Amino acid sequence: MSDPTSSAVLRGAVDLSSLRNRPAAPAPATAAASPQAGAAVPASRLVFDVTDQSFGEVLELSRTVPVVVDLWAEWCGPCKQLSPVLEKVVVELAGRVVLAKVDVDANPQLAQGFRAQSIPMVVALVAGQPVPLFTGAVPEQQVREVFAQLLQLAAQHGVTGSVPVTDEAAPESEEPAEASLPPLHAEAFAAIEAGDYPRAIAAYEQALAENPRDADAAAGLGQVTLLQRVQGVDLGEARAAAAAAPRSIPAQLLVADLDVAGGHVDDAFGRLLDLFAAVDGDERAAVRARLLELFGLVGDSDPRVIAARSRLASLLF
């Protein structure tokens, strides 16, 4: 985050003008509505979905209480790692901050307005103005530090309100609480939170050995394997190495991994398909294997995967 004492962070970070006065459409039944300033809400209502159509309400809310905007997508592994951390910290702040979640695939105008070059991307709104916070999955302690700076900045701009939070006692008729995670899945989650990706991979692999049909374990294994491959990699150095050696399989695979982890799925697929067309033999097999792995990670029904599969088929035959 920029220096929280400077008002410069409130100028020109992103262009939200096209969404500022957009008429609101009825929210989908499954989406949580944004809380109203001054109205007491359960803690769970501090986290809500926002769309291209409802964004005007969020801008107005940010004049009373800082709004953190989480730009994410279902296929994004790092997003699934970061979002629970954001939600936990927001709930603990008890109404001093709220969290608006933006699915970039479903809301392309918001993604464009925030200039979301990669996700997860986290931005705040203070008095209707954007404040860049960070991109990528960051540790919980760093999230807490950034939010503390955000509250200081908001106070300097007169945004000191909060959303009153009520006790969230469960009704007697409520469905029983969700069952706890299976032990191996719980072990994998704990390892991911600790940044111990090899231990998480081992847990998911054991879960699949015990139940080869465990789709959640398969998905988790793919996401953690990707995170392990890109952990600690310098993006600039990786791109320079790939540009210097356009037919280097390891260099091109690494940049494709970084692109998927950062949300640039089309770039990753295009890079690997171009590479597949340029090489042959065992090299082709390695590129195809990585493509299939990334297809599974993004999701077979994703339009980008469908288009890439079609091109791969044309290159094969």
**Marked catalytic residue, from 76, 86, 111, 254:** 76
**Marked catalytic residue, from 79, 102, 201, 261:** 79
Distance between CA atoms of 174 and 185, rounded to whole angstroms? 26
Tokens of 263: 């949300």
- Which DSSP string do the residues of 12-23 spell out, in sequence order? SSS--HHHHTPP
The single-letter code of the amino acid at 142 is: Q
Q: 76 an active-site residue? A: yes
Region of 34 please: left (phi>0), alpha (psi -120 to 50) or beta: beta
Distance between CA atoms of 184 and 205, rounded to whole angstroms? 9
Q: Which phi and psi (to 5°) does residue 311 adopt?
A: -65, -40
Helical spans, DSSP H, in the chain: 17-20, 55-61, 77-92, 108-113, 140-156, 183-193, 197-210, 215-230, 235-244, 249-261, 265-278, 282-298, 303-316
Whole-number CA gyration radius for the chain: 21
Q: 272 an active-site residue? A: no
Torsion of CA 75, 80, 81, 84, to 10 degrees: 170
Look up tokens 């260099």; give the residue: 251
Residue 106's nearest CA partner among 147, 62, 56, 55 is 55
Residues serving a catalytic function are 76, 79
